[in-house]
Amino acid sequence: METADYDIVIVGSGLAGMRAALQAANFSNRKLRIAMISKLHAMRSHSVSAEGGISGVLSPGEGGDSIELHAMDTIKGSDYLADQDAVEFLVNEAPKEIRLLDNMGVPWNRREDGGIVLRAFGGMSIPRTVFAGDKTGFFMLSTLYDALLEYQDVEIFHEYLVISLNITRGTFGGILAMNISTGEMKLFRGKAGIIATGGYARIYGFTTTAFSSTGDGIAMAYRAGVSLKDMEFVQFHPTALVPSGILITEAARGEGGYLLNSEGKRFMENYAKSKMELAPRDIVSRAIVTELDQGRGVVQETTGIEHVFLDLRHLGESVIDERLPMIKEITIKMNGIDPSKEMIPVRPAAHFTMGGIHMDIHGRALMNDYDPVMGLWVAGEAGCVSVHGANRLGSNSLSQCVIWGRVVGEAAAEHALGNGYGVTNEEIERWGALEASRVNNLMDGTGTENPYLIRKEMQQTLDKYVYVYRETDGFKNAKKAINDLKRRYANVYVQDKSREYNTNLRDTLELGNMLELADIVIECALARKESRGAHAMKEYPKRDDVNWLKHTIVRMGSDGPVLSYVPVTITKWQPMERKY
Ligand SMILES: Cc1cc2nc3c(=O)[nH]c(=O)nc-3n(C[C@H](O)[C@H](O)[C@H](O)COP(=O)(O)OP(=O)(O)OC[C@H]3O[C@@H](n4cnc5c(N)ncnc54)[C@H](O)[C@@H]3O)c2cc1C
């Protein structure tokens, strides 16, 4: 097996990973050798599908907006679980990143006078979301990618599946990856490492996320001894297209779309009278599920799936064509529906994971409750910093990705310029051989369980028991089902024995990560006896700040997940009742 030495090893080439690579290269004056590794072609990273936009107050004072108001909206939206120092950092830094991307060439939508257009988003008091049509992620990612191609010191490894992460003596050592096109294993030793592998919403079946959002980096970090934070908080986006689950961006409601029940009524007036369709996502998702539960849903004839309608007809063809062209393309292609003439069937789907690798405001990965891993940083949806708390506001994630991408790129570069390798070549090679044998055993195994059936059952379990409304009995059923599936996974069979492009092996390895994370999500959710943001418990319908204003920390123990709690950082916004 080949071992390659790099100064910085970045796992993930979404917006967080690419922004980190760019910053590390610039900060070090291109003196460092940087590897950026992605299990997909870098440009197919999930960020490419971000639709609606990126938040930031570009001109404080204009239209009554302010940095302070952005912070307040984010904290209230988070149901007061966000760490307020991190939120303050986010809102202060977001405008700088948007301007930088503007200078780099991202084609933000513009007014006739050349100014950048802003759009309304859920839970934001005022329009402050910058966008490029409804393909914001595509334009941001391709701009960063084009820039990176100029950098000889950044080597991009497309289609390398990272399998394992080495931490020795509390210090990052490197990673083991498989070249998907050849099946060969390769060790990357690094002075510094960055995990930017995205979220874990694919543990659900009905989801807006890419097939690749399997939480690999989070599971790997957990196995290596890093703690995870707030894993029970999964965001359900109110408007996923039925039946495919493809996202119909919140921008559709930001542009003025209505949600209607089977009686043709804009039911949001019963749930969030002042914000209506632009209430935060947890509230809109609960409203939709309540409408369905109370018999005011519509059953789709072809699938039997219940849904409500998103109505864009009154926006007219020209607004849809200019501001929401991809939504029109999607609904026509997938459902044969032209949104300027017909209503769109939607219901909530798993969309974003607020939980992730425990990290501090500097992007350092943490073990136990607060111990930084030397030389290891986290950025993007893989980490929980936490700016989104119990419920993310739409368009805050892209800001988070690029801001902490920049922060960790710089910190990792500084570390690599001043330090040597944390592990010796012999150590990493010994470790790599052991980890590779785990994969070989899987390939040579004579198990009988089909990974795709296990995956399907796992996703059905989460869809059923860990959805918008949750209850203890449901969690217990889910836990039992996932434990059974984990037992079956120990006897899993990889049918394809070839080396090249073995997607069967890749899917099976990803499944192992997802089962681990599904178990953790349920365990953390079962423990939290309150309703906060996206975690809505039927038995505990109220938020409980006396007992639960705290982050869940989980680390791997010898008998499974071990939970502890750390306080939320409050700077100036005391928790209040959340009304919209
Ligand atoms: C449909 C959709 C639309 C969205 N629109 C918006 C929006 O408009 N505004 C907003 O703020 N947020 C939006 N979000 C959320 C936002 O897009 C994501 O949170 C963000 O793009 C995540 O970026 P990332 O860099 O953290 O990870 P990703 O973009 O998910 O990238 C992860 C990277 O890690 C790599 N990787 C993963 N595992 C491995 C492994 N084992 N080995 C090697 N590489 C690996 C992948 O190949 C990929 O390169 C949207 C989400 C969805 C689902």
Average pLDDT for 157-163: 98
Q: Decide if 99 is catalytic.
A: no
Cβ of 398 closer than 6 Å to ligand 1, yes or no, is yes
Q: Which residues of 57-75 are buried (b: 16+ CB within 10 A; e: fewer)?
A: bbeeeeeebbeebbbbbbb
Neighbour-count burial for 548-561, b at 16+ CB within 10 Å, e otherwise: bbebbbbbbeeeeb
The pTM of the whole model exceeds 0.95:
yes
The amino acid sitting at 420 is: G
- Distance (Å) from CA 191 to ligand 1 centroid: 25
Token reading at 326: 């991809």
- Average pLDDT over the chain reads 97
Phi first, then psi, for residue 534 (nearest 5°) are -75, -5
pLDDT 10s digits, 236-274 = 999 999 999 999 999 899 999 999 999 999 999 999 999
Closest residue by CA, ligand 1 atom 20: 47
Catalytic position from the list 33, 70, 237, 535 = 237
Q: Are 152 and 468 in contact (CB under 8 A)?
A: no
* pLDDT tens digit sequence for 86-144: 999 999 999 999 999 999 999 999 999 999 999 999 999 999 999 998 899 999 999 99
How confident is the model at residue 115, as a pLDDT? 93
Length of the chain: 580
Instruction: Kindly report, residue by residue over 571-580, the tens digit of the pLDDT.
Output: 999 999 999 9
Is residue 280 predicted with pLDDT exceeding 90?
Answer: yes
55: CA distance to ligand 1 center in Å?
Answer: 16
Going by alpha carbons, the residue nearest to atom 51 of ligand 1 is 50
Separation of 198 CA from ligand 1 center, angstroms? 5
- Report the separation in Å between the CA atom of 453 and the middle of ligand 1, taken as the mean of its atom positions: 26
Question: Is the C-beta atom of 540 inside 6 A of ligand 1?
Answer: no
Contact (CB, 8 A) for 561 and 555: yes
Closest CA to 572 of 94, 67, 95: 67
Please give the average per-residue pLDDT across 28-48, as a whole number: 97
Which of the four pLDDT bands, split at 50, 70 and 90, describes residue 35?
Answer: very high
Assess whether the C-beta atom of 411 lies below 6 angstroms from ligand 1.
no
What is the residue type of 375?
Answer: G
pLDDT in tens, 458-497: 999 999 999 999 999 999 999 999 999 999 999 999 999 9
Indicate which atom in ligand 1 lies nearest the CA of residue 379.
Answer: 26
Peptide bond into 243 cis (omega under 30): yes
The arithmetic mean of pLDDT across residues 500-518, rounded, is 98
Residue 562 has pLDDT above 90, yes or no: yes
Catalytic site residue from 253, 323, 364, 506: 253
Closest alpha carbon to 162 in 512, 506, 515: 506
Contact 36/188 with Cβ under 8 angstroms? no
- CATH 3.90.700.10 assigned to domain 239-348? The reply is yes
End-to-end CA distance of the chain: 58
- CATH number 2.70.50.60 is the correct assignment for the domain at 446-549: no
Domain range annotation of the chain: 2-233+354-431, 239-348, 446-549
Q: Is 36 in the pocket of ligand 1 (CB under 6 A)?
A: no
Identify the pLDDT of residue 464. 97
253 is catalytic: yes
Confidence band of 63 (pLDDT split at 50, 70, 90) = confident
Which of 35-39, 203-207, 292-296, 441-445 has the lowest average pLDDT?
441-445
Dihedral of CA 176/179/180/184: which sign? negative
* Residue range 341-361, pLDDT digits in tens: 999 999 999 999 999 999 999
Q: Is the CB of 247 under 6 A from ligand 1?
A: yes
Tens digits of per-residue pLDDT, 183-231? 999 999 999 999 999 999 999 999 999 999 999 999 999 999 999 999 9
**236 within 8 A of 308, measured Cβ to Cβ:** no
527-549 tens-digit pLDDT = 999 999 999 999 999 999 999 99
- Angle 448-450-455 from CA coordinates, rounded to 5°: 145
Residue 182 pLDDT greater than 90, yes or no: yes
Decide: 53 in ligand 1 pocket, CB within 6 A: yes
Q: Percent of the chain beyond pLDDT 90?
A: 97
Q: Is the pLDDT of residue 148 over 90?
A: yes
- Ligand 1 binding pocket includes 11 (Cβ within 6 Å): yes
Distance 47 CA to ligand 1 centre (A): 4
Q: pLDDT (tens digit, 9 = 90+) per residue, 120-136?
A: 999 999 999 999 988 99
Token representation of residue 404: 């902490």
How is residue 247 annotated by DSSP?
B
- Express each pLDDT in 372-408 by its tens digit: 999 999 999 999 999 999 999 999 999 999 999 999 9
pLDDT band of 511, cuts 50, 70, 90? very high
Q: Mention the CATH class of domain 2-233+354-431.
A: alpha beta
pLDDT (mean) for 544-569: 97
351: enclosing H helix or E strand: strand 344-353
